[in-house]
Chain A
Amino acid sequence: MDINAYIESGILELYVAGQLSEKENQEIYELLQAHPRLLQEVLEIEAAVVKLTAAVSPHSIDFDSFKGKLTSTDNSEKKVVVMKPKKPNWISYTGWAASILLAGGLLWTLNNNKELELEIQTAEIENAYLEQQIEDARTDLASTKDLLNTLRDKDILAVPLGGQGKFANSYAKVYWNKEDNTIYLDGQGLPDAPEGKVWQVWSLKLNPLTPTSLGTIDDFNTDDNKIFAIANANESEAFGITLEPEGGSESPTMEQLYTLGVVPTAP
């Protein structure tokens, strides 16, 4: 055992003060027999306390001044009191039994009460969490409704972008609101952009083929619904999406053209 740590813990000071349980006292007694250093420490603590407490006493009292009282209690005058067997006192027994029951009941109630309070606390915390979740769900719902309303608008033009070449599995959709010059790109069918790359959206004129960058989607990987509103004031005839190095490119890298879709001509 670590004697130093044991001494430093302060348990020996409490031992001398008489503030430990009977079990702890017994343990320390055994340790003191085995470790002279611990015993020495206890003796020193005790000596300090004895000196300090003694300093409070203003005068000494002579042992002889009460020696007389001592012998009288000890020797001949020690009276023998004959104990008569007591008759059982049923009223007192019942009284005791009742008070013990009552005390037990009180303790039980007290304990129950504590537990209930704890449960209420837990429930309150859970409630707070649930309220937060409902709040979040409501916000989500509201934004989803907004989105739906936007996409259902009669002026919206839907442009499906199909997968190109080796990226045939990819797809995307553009919803174009010519009124407010905005496209909503739904990138659900695109994989996350790999490290160091970004998705870049292009507006295209077909004759001759002229790409105009609509910008990169920097937050693609972290976005939840993968729907992005992008400003587009061009007379677009088609939309394409390419994977470009971070920061985007001047013109689309055709080998990295994932999806492409032509804007349907108005009937």
Chain B
Amino acid sequence: MTDLDALISKFKNMDEVAFEKLYYMYHASIHGVILNIAKNNKVADDLTQDVFIKAWNNAETYDAKKGRFFTWILNIARNTAIDKIRSKSFKQSRANLDAKNFEHIITSHESLDSETDAIGIKDIIKKLTPKRLKIIELLYFKGFTQKEASDHLKIPIGTVKTRSRDSIRELRGMML
């Protein structure tokens, strides 16, 4: 059992210390995914908290056999964000939003915290081809299914699989 597994197991037993550790591991990612969908900092801040509260309240329903913890909380984040942008109150305030996607958000950050600075994420993003950025956006940020991504990009379903593999591999290569 890895440290992470142990942490998650404590979290399932409502251990707040374990939860805090998991929070600091993943909250920036969750915030990033939500911001990419909601395009609004204030909304993204609130929703990120909502997501972790939901996770806490449903801790016992997490089952490692059904997927990774990160994947689980990522799913909660996407669903929460998508519910929000479909809501009436959000639609009314849409005028404030711009349609930038994650690469624009990253590259337009004035300052990045030291950890992300260290891997030079801005340069990494600039090196990825639009095709690869797009598939990452659809599958990881927006939660498109393979079928939806294949329809959206007008590429065969098998290509979705290989293209996401190639994209993540390139990303990993550059992050080393």
Residues of A bordering B, CB below 8 Å: 8-11, 13-20, 22, 25-26, 29, 42, 44-58, 60-61, 63, 65-66, 69-70, 73-74
Contacts and interface: CB of A to CB of B under 8 A. Distances in A.
Given A48-B171, A60-B113, A73-B57, A54 B32 contact: yes
A29 B64 contact: yes
B13 interface: no
Nearest to B172: A48
Interface string B83-127: 000000000000000000010011001001101100101000100
Given A45-B172, A61-B45, A56 B119 contact: no
Nearest to B53: A69
Given A58-B109, A70-B53, A73-B53, A18 B28 contact: no
A73 B175 contact: no
Given A60-B113, A61-B27, A16 B71 contact: yes
Given A17-B143, A18-B71, A52-B102, 12 more contacts: A16-B140, A19-B145, A47-B172, A50-B29, A51-B116, A53-B29, A53-B32, A53-B141, A55-B121, A57-B31, A66-B53, A70-B56
Contacts of A57: 27-29, 31-32, 35, 44
A50 B141 CA distance: 11
B63 to A, nearest CB: 9
A45 B139 CA distance: 13
A210 B172 CA distance: 92
Contacts of B141: 53, 56
Given A25-B66, A66-B53, A19 B32 contact: no
A119 to B, nearest CB: 25
A206 B33 CA distance: 104
Contacts of B11: none
A63 B24 contact: yes
A8 B163 CA distance: 11
Contact of A14 (B14, B41, B109, B164): B164
Nearest to B44: A57
B65 interface: yes
A223 to B, nearest CB: 48
B175 A14 contact: no
A50 B168 contact: no
Interface string B20-56: 1001111111111101100001001100110011001
Contact of B31 (A20, A22, A61): A61
Contacts of A48: 168, 171-172, 175
Contacts of B53: 66, 69-70, 73
10 contacts: A18-B67, A18-B71, A18-B75, A29-B64, A29-B65, A50-B26, A53-B141, A69-B49, A70-B53, A74-B57
A212 B146 CA distance: 79
B61 interface: no
A48 B173 CA distance: 9
Interface in B62-77: 64-68, 70-72, 74-75
The 10 closest A-B CB pairs, nearest first, are: A56-B32, A10-B165, A54-B28, A53-B29, A10-B161, A57-B31, A55-B121, A57-B32, A18-B71, A53-B32
A89 to B, nearest CB: 26
